[in-house]
Structure 1
Amino acid sequence: MEPFTKLSSRVVVLPVDNIDTDQIIPARFLKTTDRTGLGASLFADWRYLPDGQPDPAFVLNYPENQEAQILLAGDNFGCGSSREHAAWALLGWGFRAVISTSFADIFRNNALKNGLLPVTVPPEVHQELVRLLGRDPSQTVTIDLETQTLSWAGGETHFPVDPFAKDCLLRGVDELGYLLSLEQEIAAFEARRLSG
């Protein structure tokens, strides 16, 4: 997993409330346990026309959004089923962070465990970002995980993040990687335990 420290990026604006995990990655794409290639199915029912061609009216298909690594979504993002594939699809497309006013708990946990940062902001900050990026989509937003700050032209806010998840993201490790990083301490503890 790539460490997440500081990210400055253009933003894909999709301010739709209650985007559930079946909209993020439809159930027909859940036949795999491998995350490879799932980015192509992200928002598939919105992103593609009935003939399979990309819908030019959908924000993910705008040429200027192809390199964006931040998604600005509406309230209650990631609600619905608990599929980890939703986080995999967002990461597979190239997103490293999602900004919203709230996230479903299971989605937030899946995102953090896979290296995708959910950034919760107050409604007034969300509205300001939607307005700013609506006027000038070329604006970039910066997320600094160390200081837990989100900044943009003319503003800044702090966001909450679980301390353990923050440590893992900064180091670029998942939970197993974290445990493996403590291998020497674990071995020393076991040696003391067995000798005592």
Structure 2
Amino acid sequence: MTPINELKSKAMPLPLPNIDTDQIIPKQFLKRIERTGYGDFLFYDWRYNLDVPDSITPNASFVINKPEYHGAQILIAERNFGCGSSREHAAWALNQFGFLAVIAPTFADIFYSNAGKNGIILVRLQEDHVKTLMGRSTKNPDSIITINLEHQTVTDDEGFHARFEIEPFRKFCLLNGYDDISLTLQHTEALTSFEAAHEKRLWAMPKSHLAGANQPAI
């Protein structure tokens, strides 16, 4: 996971509430074995014209296909973004498409956790602030929004300024680029020491633990 402190980008407006994870990444794509390539299926049912299965074409009216928003790393949505199932694929799809942040009034709890673990900053702002940014990005697609994670601020080139809250641990992981695995690996020395000490105290372990570890019963 790449460390992130300050993000400067134009933003893609998606003025819809209750965007669920099946809309973010439809269920038929969850069968894939790979963990990569999900960006191609982000917002699939909205992104493409699916009326003729043998001739699927991009939906030119959907924001993700509008050339003026290409390269946007910030998505702006309405309340309750990421509701629905707990699929982590939703966070994968957003990240692999190129989004590094989502701004909305509220997020579903499980999606909020999944996104943070996949390097996406979720910014909760009050509804009128979200509408302001949404309107500016709609009117001027080249408008730049700056998210400063260290200072927990959102600004734009038209004078907007707001502060957002984020849990200290989530902020620490995003600033340092730690997912669950890389965070655990920061404690390799302590884990090695624990395992060495554990080997010396096998006599103190219950038989069920020893049997599970293929150790001889005492």
Normalised to the residue count of structure 1, the TM-score between the two structures is 0.93
Of the three residues 130, 135, 138, the one matched with 1:131 is 135
What is the percentage of aligned positions where both structures have the same residue? 47
Confirm or deny: 8 A CA contact 1:35 1:89 kept in the other structure.
no
1:80 and 1:120 mapped to 2: Cα distance?
19
User: Greater CA radius of gyration, 1 or 2?
Assistant: 2
Of the three residues 87, 91, 97, the one matched with 1:87 is 91
2:127 and 2:182 mapped to 1: Cα distance?
35
Q: Which amino acid aligns with 2:120?
A: L
What is aligned with 1:173? Answer: 178
SS at match of 1:36: coil
1:10 and 1:92 mapped to 2: Cα distance?
17
Please, which runs of 5 or more residues in structure 2 have no aligned partner? 202-218
Please, which runs of 5 or more residues in structure 1 have no aligned partner? none
State the Cα RMSD in Å. Answer: 1.7
Q: How does 1:179-194 map to 2 (within 5 A)?
A: 179-188=184-193
1:85 and 1:160 mapped to 2: Cα distance?
25
SS at match of 2:184: helix
Q: Which amino acid aligns with 1:122?
A: Q
1:151 to 2:180 alignment:
no
Q: Which amino acid aligns with 1:138?
A: D
Confirm or deny: 8 A CA contact 1:20 1:77 kept in the other structure.
yes
Confirm or deny: 8 A CA contact 1:143 1:149 kept in the other structure.
yes
1:32 to 2:37 alignment:
no
Of the three residues 58, 76, 80, the one matched with 1:76 is 80
What is aligned with 2:125? Answer: 121
Aligned pairs, number: 196
Query: For 1:135-187, what per-residue CA distance to the aligned partner results, in whole angstroms no more than 9, with x for missing partners?
Result: 21210101111111111121111111121111111111202211111222444
Confirm or deny: 8 A CA contact 1:7 1:142 kept in the other structure.
yes
1:5 and 1:73 mapped to 2: Cα distance?
22
1:25 and 1:32 mapped to 2: Cα distance?
12
Normalised to the residue count of structure 2, the TM-score between the two structures is 0.84
Q: Which stretch of the first structure deviates more once superposed, 13-22 or 24-33?
A: 24-33
1:129 and 1:44 mapped to 2: Cα distance?
25
2:148 and 2:187 mapped to 1: Cα distance?
26
Q: Which amino acid aligns with 1:144?
A: N
1:71 and 1:133 mapped to 2: Cα distance?
10
C-alpha displacement of 1:189: 5.9
Query: For 1:48-67, what per-residue CA distance to the aligned partner results, in whole angstroms no more than 9, with x for missing partners?
Result: 01231111111000112121
What is aligned with 2:4? Answer: 4
